[in-house]
Structure 1
């Protein structure tokens, strides 16, 4: 997730652009070469993976161009719990959505990583690979069995590894090492136990059914009718493990890799023509506040890893997209691809607050500067304590009841019987997502409810031909009957769960604020529309499809349709949003893309 607590104090953000090794440049004018084999646009999750894998061959030259800053020197990027402080800072693009009809016209902040490692450097770290069904559906949609789970499993195993939690406790029964790999991204279960952890597990055991316990969500079976388990996060040794730390840092000294930060590709330039359409092997680069432009050529490919927002924006600026829309902006259409920027999907999320009798929650860590400082000091001294975790230790994925009104008259939007419709995350404190501030007193538990198989679809379009202007982002949150009815069920599930016996002894949860007045399904729908944000899991704006189909933006090899010289590797190529947190699938896509590229050029 990429959501922000609005009350946590921000730590000092260093001047990151000064922390540059020999492989780093901060201006296009510093580049000693004008040609590389591969130019990677975006140094985020996918771009970092590609930079690592493609430069394994010392004869291959690679340039990574990142619009944002270096990840090094920012404590908030390292401390897992402080991921919640990063939205709205200099490592965030600071996007906002258009007014959302499904949210009573509200405008939402839309956090995306403006830093090496991308959104994986600022997210809330949850690591899922998705159910087997997710990948098998992708294979069916693209007519390419290379995307089936049996085919991509090796890339999951190659991307991450399960490591001990920060406190070194025996995590038998909390995760299954047998279903994990030996890759560079470190993944662990929570390294600091919270008072509600045992309550969550006890309630799971008591209720069963849609809340049965699952030892490891990364085993490929997310749900039967529903399952609950311990959070697995991209954390190793109590520190964030991102693509920047796991993939990029280890190869920064390679002589065949250059990394340019604080610079943005403003458009792709046609460099020739082929039987399959225009050739785009030249990237134009600029920097904010300057009209000067530089050009760099990719001798083999330009690889767009600019993200779900940046990739379609760059395609449109380059004349690649719906011809009529481009013409209306006085951009010459070069490749007519109507799907560019469409199909935007995200997971809507509602924070549900419950006031509790226990005083053991971490609310006072957020309210009290001394407590906050002591907790941070413990992390700095020993990588122990509350801050070694993301805010939630446990979560549940559930399928809707068979008679749910959300499913009436529609095909099941989930990938299959092993994929969920909704998610619940249990937080041991008041987590002020959205606009509700933390109360000055009292103890709270938050249950974050999300719809993970949404049917709402939105778009990314240009607001201006200025490459430094922010695009129009419309995720169309809660714009379908399924999404709003599924969210109502998730809110009811949260209340059912916290009404169970294990909670009544000490915690005695009571719905707080507007939730207390949301008694009917209609009330709950109104509550959702007024309080929903997103999990910041956008996907699908340059989706892949079969090579000869009349929909999609890239083929199943991730090559841009109707053109040559461009491949897209990021979450924009997802044909359907997966029913899980999406950083894990991005790593898998990037690892497979690296092999596709190597095979194409005999590397």
Structure 2
């Protein structure tokens, strides 16, 4: 069995793993190895072209995990697309790049993670991306002309741009409709995100109009460094420990590559960056986790850690589509895979890097509270909802964790300046979410559509993922327990119902056929019970899995400390979305990049490499 020695071994060449590898290998004396289970698809047009992202789902570029049947979703099984490629999920996502709110990041510290707050992390967010310039005279068309303050110019590796055609009417109509309701984002959200509507950015190069992600932005420019080695199609089968010391010490990994078994040893650290499903899986097959689960599978316990695989959180999403005016530009022809549309769009992209293929169609966002909670009787209703579902007070273990999260949720739901939901639009019908009657993938319809979407920003529902076998090739059991918390059911129902009000608000309504024509008649609901029923049949995942190796105090079920070190184990860290203790309100990728940038500095400091 072949063996080699490095200073750092990074398990997972995804979004976080490549950032950490790039930063650690900046120091020529440090030997860095990255082991990635997938392949390098940076030349794949499906990856490069933003509009083709949906074709990557359930492809060879993703793990295509399946959840347990979800009782709150009519017992549907949900597919979880997690990236299996160099660059990870950033290689297959829809490229939306949104900021967190200051409050959410400060809440990380409130959960017991000293030093993890907005003042510390904001510079790491800024370090990851290059902000786009706004063409002269287009501030109003982009819906950004009312900002009181703007973030400074940044010059990080990830290239950002405004999606698609700058002059598309959806942005201005969205901004003005929310402004009429008193919910237009006051500042550039990258400067100070609170509540309100804004035009979102996406991680697409503004010149080439191709996906900008960890592989081509971080890794490829430095791939020839003599001290950096990346092995693709390498499946890590377990972590090796030296149990002779006071604490178990991670010394290397076993992996399989091209049918050969190998061992790689690390003189300094093993860094898990395999994602919210694979990182807890690797810990468990290596003997770190709930002793009851490990012993039942015949795995020797290296470190008892009941929090491994627990605290799984994800953004659940629900949408509906309505017919748009014929003159509005949409991506429906691509959704129907019309040959003439595909050919002309492909020709335009290859010749001039313009046209429909340059974006996934998501141009607008909003962070929102439940508006109804601030009506005359709304505050009393939400207070009663909270009181009826308050966790029992036991200051230890998962109960202490539940209480801490509940306190954060309570403050959020009672504050109109904090979002419990996020809304977005997509110019075209949704090819992913299930038909609300059959439960199957819907067939594309003729016509043009605008899709409006609600996301439950900070769910209280928590699930888990655990191995069912010693064999690392077997997928784990995943149960997100979507909407298992009654508070989530009510809050999400209110948000989805409010979408009906949004699409009837001018000037957004002026872009739609009147009277409204829904993609599916089941979406034409008008009360909270109708919204709940629709959610059960239509809602799905945003694939924003997090929290399964949470950065929390160990007594609250935390797996890693504030240095991202696994409790009770030496030379082992986790750096990916699994350590995120609380989801941001929008898409997760910007937070993973910022987390990885800070982790690299933490690791350098620990080894006196700064």
User: Same fold per TM (> 0.5)?
Assistant: yes
User: Does the CA-based 8 Å contact 1:269-1:283 persist in structure 2?
Assistant: yes
Of 28, 31, 35, the match for 1:65: 35
Note the alpha carbon deviations across 1:504-558, whole angstroms, 9 max, x for none: 5452333342434533311210110111101110100000123x63520011100
Of 402, 405, 413, the match for 2:409: 413
Of 576, 585, 594, the match for 1:570: 576
* Structure 1 Cα separation of the partners of residues 411 and 51 of structure 2: 31
Of 148, 155, 176, the match for 1:182: 155
Paired residue for 1:433? 432
Note the alpha carbon deviations across 1:541-582, whole angstroms, 9 max, x for none: 000123x63520011100010111101100101112222211
Paired residue for 1:258? 229
User: Does the CA-based 8 Å contact 1:345-1:454 persist in structure 2?
Assistant: yes
2:98 maps to 1:128: yes
C-alpha deviation, 1:216, in angstroms:
2.4
Residues 169 and 458 of structure 1: is their aligned pair in 2 closer, same or farther, counting only changes over 3 Å?
A: farther
* Structure 2 Cα separation of the partners of residues 396 and 268 of structure 1: 42
Of 175, 197, 200, the match for 1:231: 200
Residues 406 and 330 of structure 1: is their aligned pair in 2 closer, same or farther, counting only changes over 3 Å?
A: farther
Of 240, 251, 256, the match for 1:281: 251
Paired residue for 1:4? none
Paired residue for 1:596? 602
Q: Which runs of 5+ in 1 are unaligned?
A: 1-27
User: Does the CA-based 8 Å contact 1:352-1:515 persist in structure 2?
Assistant: no
* Structure 2 Cα separation of the partners of residues 415 and 85 of structure 1: 40
C-alpha deviation, 1:36, in angstroms:
0.1
* Structure 1 Cα separation of the partners of residues 594 and 69 of structure 2: 33
C-alpha deviation, 1:593, in angstroms:
0.7
Paired residue for 2:171? 197
C-alpha deviation, 1:390, in angstroms:
2.4
* Segment drifting more, 248-257 vs 405-414: 405-414
Note the alpha carbon deviations across 1:307-361, whole angstroms, 9 max, x for none: 0000000000001000011001111111000000000000101121213443534
User: Does the CA-based 8 Å contact 1:353-1:515 persist in structure 2?
Assistant: no
User: Does the CA-based 8 Å contact 1:45-1:119 persist in structure 2?
Assistant: yes
* 3-state SS, counterpart of residue 536 of structure 2: helix
C-alpha deviation, 1:415, in angstroms:
7.6
Equivalent positions of 1:499-578 (< 5 A) are 499-505=504-510, 507=512, 508=514, 509-546=516-553, 549=555, 551-578=557-584
Paired residue for 2:402? none
User: Does the CA-based 8 Å contact 1:301-1:567 persist in structure 2?
Assistant: yes
* Segment drifting more, 398-407 vs 131-140: 398-407
User: Does the CA-based 8 Å contact 2:425-2:451 persist in structure 1?
Assistant: yes
Aligned residues: CA RMSD: 2.2
Paired residue for 2:77? 107
* 3-state SS, counterpart of residue 357 of structure 2: helix
Residues 406 and 126 of structure 1: is their aligned pair in 2 closer, same or farther, counting only changes over 3 Å?
A: farther
* 3-state SS, counterpart of residue 142 of structure 1: coil
Equivalent positions of 1:47-446 (< 5 A) are 47-145=17-115, 147-164=116-133, 170-171=138-139, 174=144, 178-192=151-165, 193-205=167-179, 207-209=180-182, 211-214=183-186, 216-223=188-195, 227-236=196-205, 237=207, 238-275=209-246, 277-287=247-257, 290=259, 292-362=260-330, 363-367=332-336, 368-400=338-370, 401-402=373-374, 403=378, 405=381, 408-409=385-386, 411=407, 413=409, 416=412, 419-436=418-435, 437-446=442-451
* Segment drifting more, 174-183 vs 119-128: 174-183
User: Does the CA-based 8 Å contact 2:431-2:444 persist in structure 1?
Assistant: no
* 3-state SS, counterpart of residue 338 of structure 1: coil
* 3-state SS, counterpart of residue 580 of structure 1: coil
User: Does the CA-based 8 Å contact 2:107-2:408 persist in structure 1?
Assistant: no
Paired residue for 1:486? 491
* Structure 2 Cα separation of the partners of residues 415 and 267 of structure 1: 42
* Structure 1 Cα separation of the partners of residues 225 and 105 of structure 2: 34
User: Does the CA-based 8 Å contact 2:175-2:184 persist in structure 1?
Assistant: no
User: Does the CA-based 8 Å contact 2:315-2:458 persist in structure 1?
Assistant: yes
Residues 271 and 248 of structure 1: is their aligned pair in 2 closer, same or farther, counting only changes over 3 Å?
A: same
User: Does the CA-based 8 Å contact 2:275-2:577 persist in structure 1?
Assistant: yes
* Structure 1 Cα separation of the partners of residues 318 and 113 of structure 2: 36
* Segment drifting more, 550-559 vs 250-259: 550-559
Aligned length: 562
User: Does the CA-based 8 Å contact 2:187-2:193 persist in structure 1?
Assistant: no
C-alpha deviation, 1:195, in angstroms:
4.0
* 3-state SS, counterpart of residue 237 of structure 2: strand
Paired residue for 1:582? 588
Q: Which runs of 5+ in 2 are unaligned?
A: 388-406, 436-441
* Structure 1 Cα separation of the partners of residues 77 and 190 of structure 2: 34
C-alpha deviation, 1:101, in angstroms:
1.4
Residues 315 and 406 of structure 1: is their aligned pair in 2 closer, same or farther, counting only changes over 3 Å?
A: farther
User: Does the CA-based 8 Å contact 1:134-1:419 persist in structure 2?
Assistant: no
* Structure 1 Cα separation of the partners of residues 521 and 460 of structure 2: 26
User: Does the CA-based 8 Å contact 2:320-2:523 persist in structure 1?
Assistant: no
Return the TM-score normalized by structure 1. 0.89
* Structure 2 Cα separation of the partners of residues 47 and 385 of structure 1: 33
User: Does the CA-based 8 Å contact 1:186-1:234 persist in structure 2?
Assistant: yes
* Structure 2 Cα separation of the partners of residues 168 and 125 of structure 1: 25
Note the alpha carbon deviations across 1:168-224, whole angstroms, 9 max, x for none: 98457638763452211112222414343332223223x322x3244522223231x
Residues 536 and 180 of structure 1: is their aligned pair in 2 closer, same or farther, counting only changes over 3 Å?
A: farther
User: Does the CA-based 8 Å contact 1:358-1:506 persist in structure 2?
Assistant: no
C-alpha deviation, 1:120, in angstroms:
1.0
